[in-house]
Amino acid sequence: MSDKKIAVVGLGYVGLPLAVEFGKKRPTIGYDINQPRVDELRNGTDRTLETTPEELAAAKHLTYTSSLDDLKEAQIYIITVPTPIDEYHKPDLTPLRKASEAIGKVVSKGDILIYESTVYPGCTEEDCIPIVERVSGLKYNEDFFAGYSPERINPGDKVHRLTTIKKVTSGSTPEIAEEVDALYRDIIEAGTHKASSIRVAEAAKVIENSQRDVNIAFVNELSLIFEKMGLDTLEVLEAAGTKWNFLPFRPGLVGGHCIGVDPYYLTYKAESLGYHPEVILAGRRINDNMGANLANRLVKLMAQKGNAIKGTRVLVLGITFKENCPDIRNSRVIDIILELKDFGIEVEVYDPQADKAEVKHEYGVDLIETPTGKYEGIIAAVAHHEFTEMNFDEYMSENTALFDVKGVFDKMLVDGRL
């Protein structure tokens, strides 16, 4: 197995760290259709900040390409493309299908395809593999084989990284399952867990983030209730957290490429089988409505301080989906921004960690270079370290309402917090 060349298809937050780790030990091809992305990696730069220049340099057996023909040299293909949802909250398998078509053009007899993209149970073998068969003319489990090993990347996390997070693996036959497991064992320090089937591995991944989503929805609903009671949610959670088995979830916006997306893959599959999920979708509704709720809470605070609403200036701090990370995928901060604009408020968004061009393309929002003047409202939506060290005095008057979404500032300094 050790002499097999690996191709990692998709060099984003998931694919690049994987390619780098394999590239430290064996011949690996990193493939991406985005030529500028390939160019920057060849120059030793990763704009996602998931890998350092030193780590890129250490992957001495890793090459980068945007040419599909270069992948014909590989015997193991690892697909790490995004699996988003559409505007109707339905799975968008377009990147996955296109990747499967591409691999179908280069796969050879005896090759193994390993999917890492988050999907619903059955997707790999029911949706992806038939595409590969059709394009390649090869037969599944006779001419080529498959595995599934769900990604567990946590963008921006410098502690829980690819090699230190246990990896779930699986394969289309017992022999392939063992080969896939051994492949990952070679780079994953935390070890692996070999699932009994591809469908089990797919299901395990999709419920990981569904569970977190439901738990966050619970504390978000608590925050809605406690606001009406005049109680500080974080103080209540701190008190309850003194019990040994109380789970330490915090309220907040639920975005990103996983938690706000994965549950819809599970509910889509369930509904296709005639079952209507209730708890999961209820949690999704609560979490999807939090941005608008937070905007309304800020507007209420501004009105209580005597501010007119229409035409006033509000500063939104942060648009990435989490702190100290440039990832803007599925950021729910946009819900706050759009709701504030619906009130006729002039919204300025400041985020030194986000890429201005990406934000403009994804959300139509122009980030400001730096805050200027006084604002009638400020909402700290993301807890970047730049914001926690920020002196708000120059941007605030005695009538400014300051709302802390992440609960990272001193309670005495803010007018409201989630």
Q: What is the CA radius of gyration of the chain?
A: 23
Torsional class of 378: left (φ above 0), alpha (ψ -120 to 50), beta (otherwise): beta
Beta-carbon count within 10 A of 142 CB? 8
Tell whether the torsion through CA atoms of 249, 253, 255 and 256 is positive or negative. negative
DSSP bridge partners of 210: none
Cα separation, 285 vs 214, whole angstroms: 10
* DSSP single-letter state for residue 243: S
Instruction: Check if the beta carbon of residue 259 is closer than 8 Å to that of residue 213.
Output: yes
Residue 229 vs residues 234, 249, 276: alpha-carbon distances, Å:
14, 20, 33
Q: Is 258 a catalytic residue?
A: yes
Q: What single string gives the DSSP state of each residue in 318-343?
A: --SSSTT----TT-THHHHHHHHHHT
Cα separation, 223 vs 221, whole angstroms: 5
Q: At what angle do helices 198-229 and 262-272 cross, to 10 degrees?
A: 110
How does strand 313-317 pair with strand 192-194?
unpaired
Cα separation, 207 vs 215, whole angstroms: 12
Ramachandran angles phi, psi of 225, nearest 5°: -70, -45
Residues with a known catalytic role: 258
